[in-house]
Structure 1
Amino acid sequence: MTKTIAYVLYPGLTALDLVGPLTVTAVLDGDFETVVVARDLETLDTDAPIRLGATATFDEVTAPYAVVVPGGTAGTFAACADERLLDWLRTASATAEVTASVCTGSLILGAAGLLEGRRATTHWGFRDVLPKFGAIPVAERWVQDGGIVTAAGVSAGIDMALHLVREFAGEEVARFAQLLIEYDPLPPLGGIDWDEVDIPSFKPYMQEAMRAGLADHPELLARLTG
């Protein structure tokens, strides 16, 4: 039976959070199919000047083999209060082999009640929000706790997707995927010196994203910022 990997689409997400991992898992053979799911098939704005459209609706994909939830900023916090999305995610996750997230997509998993008591990660600027959902935050590139896999910010989703391909189809296939997309990063400025990152200085930006996304949901905003 074909195993469906469902990527969740919602307004305002970060496009690379979805497209990066999807490009990796798309190498899986005919035993797998990749779909992008949303409320409907309308194209949606992202947080960049590009729009994306789903290939299937929530009603059409009810029991995926794996679920991947991308992140973003204000759009992601709005999604944390989208009960239609959260209900679908709870149902899909109940039977999925893996439920995964990229960046702040883990906060949507948290809002759906899927991170309680689990180790999880997210974008470094929002890691302190995870305990609000009962999660145990860890500063890792990606982390797996049972059937839940969470990745840190944006590009970490590619690392996580390579891990998923290895889990689903073996190391040889995962190495092929890495080679195919030539994932061998050498950033021109070198790696990030995390000891030098002034995380508190970014807090006003992070809180503004929460306020913008949850302007119509003051109770959830108070919970996450209190």
Structure 2
Amino acid sequence: MTKTIAYVLYPGLTALDLIGPLTVTAALDGEYESVVVARDLAALDTDAAVRLGATATFDQVTAPHVVVVPGGTAGTFAACADEELLRWLRTASAAAEVTASVCTGSLVLGAAGLLEGRRATTHWGFRHLLPKFGAVAVAERWVRDGDVLTAAGVSAGIDMALQLVRELAGEQAARLSQLVIEYDPEPPLGPIDWSEVDTAAFAPFGEAALREGLADHPELLARLTG
């Protein structure tokens, strides 16, 4: 029987958070099928100049083998208050072997009550929000805690997806997927020097995204900003 890897689509997410891992798992053989799920099949805006549409609805995919929740900014915070999405996520996660996230997608997992007491990561600018959902925040590229696998910001989703492929199909399959997408990063400016990152300078942007996404949900906004 084909095992489904379900990527959650919602308005305003970061396209690469979805497309990067999806490209990695698409290299798996016929035992696995990657699908994109949403409330309906309408094309949705992302935080880039591209729209994305789901291949299946929440009602059509009720027991996936793997769930992956991408992140973003204001759209992701709005998703944290989307009860239809959160209900589906709780049900799907209960049936899944792995529940995963990319970037701030872990905050959606938290809003669904799936991170209580778990080690988890997210984008560095929003890591301080994880404890608001009962998680133990860690500064790692990707984190496995039980059946939950979370990744840090955007590009870390590819690392997480390669780890997921290794767990599902073995090291050879993960290496093949890495080769197929030629994932061998050599950024022109070198690696990030985290000791030089001014996290405080990011705070106004982060708070603005929170307030925009949760403008209609003052209780959750107060919980995350208080």
Q: TM-score range by the shorter chain?
A: over 0.9
Following superposition of structure 1 onto structure 2, how do residues 157-176 of structure 1 map, counting pairs within 5 Å?
157-176=157-176
RMSD over equivalenced CA pairs, Å: 0.3
Q: Tell me the number of residue pairs that the alignment of Structure 1 and Structure 2 aligns.
A: 226
Give the aligned partner of residue 213 of structure 1: 213
Instruction: Tell me which amino acid in the other structure corresponds to 1:197.
Output: V
Partner Cα distance (1:197, 1:19) in 2 = 27
Deviation at 1:201, TM superposition (A): 1.2
Question: TM (normalized to structure 1)?
Answer: 1.00
Deviation readout 1:24-46 (Å, 9 max, x if unpaired): 00011111111100000000000
Give the aligned partner of residue 23 of structure 1: 23
Question: TM (normalized to structure 2)?
Answer: 1.00
Give the aligned partner of residue 224 of structure 2: 224
Deviation readout 1:100-148 (Å, 9 max, x if unpaired): 0000000000000000000000000000000000000000000000000
SS in 1 for 2:16: helix
Partner Cα distance (2:117, 2:95) in 1 = 19
Give the aligned partner of residue 34 of structure 1: 34
Give the aligned partner of residue 141 of structure 2: 141
Instruction: Tell me which amino acid in the other structure corresponds to 1:162.
Output: L
Instruction: Tell me which amino acid in the other structure corresponds to 1:65.
Output: H
Following superposition of structure 1 onto structure 2, how do residues 50-89 of structure 1 map, counting pairs within 5 Å?
50-89=50-89
Partner Cα distance (1:95, 1:63) in 2 = 5
Deviation readout 1:65-103 (Å, 9 max, x if unpaired): 000000000000000000000000000000100000000
Partner Cα distance (1:30, 1:181) in 2 = 18
Partner Cα distance (1:144, 1:209) in 2 = 27
Give the aligned partner of residue 119 of structure 1: 119
Instruction: Tell me which amino acid in the other structure corresponds to 1:143.
Output: V
Partner Cα distance (2:147, 2:121) in 1 = 14
SS in 2 for 1:16: helix
Deviation readout 1:152-193 (Å, 9 max, x if unpaired): 000000000000000000000100000000000000000000
Give the aligned partner of residue 5 of structure 2: 5
Q: Which runs of 5+ in 1 are unaligned?
A: none
Partner Cα distance (2:39, 2:84) in 1 = 8
Partner Cα distance (2:155, 2:69) in 1 = 14
Partner Cα distance (2:208, 2:79) in 1 = 16
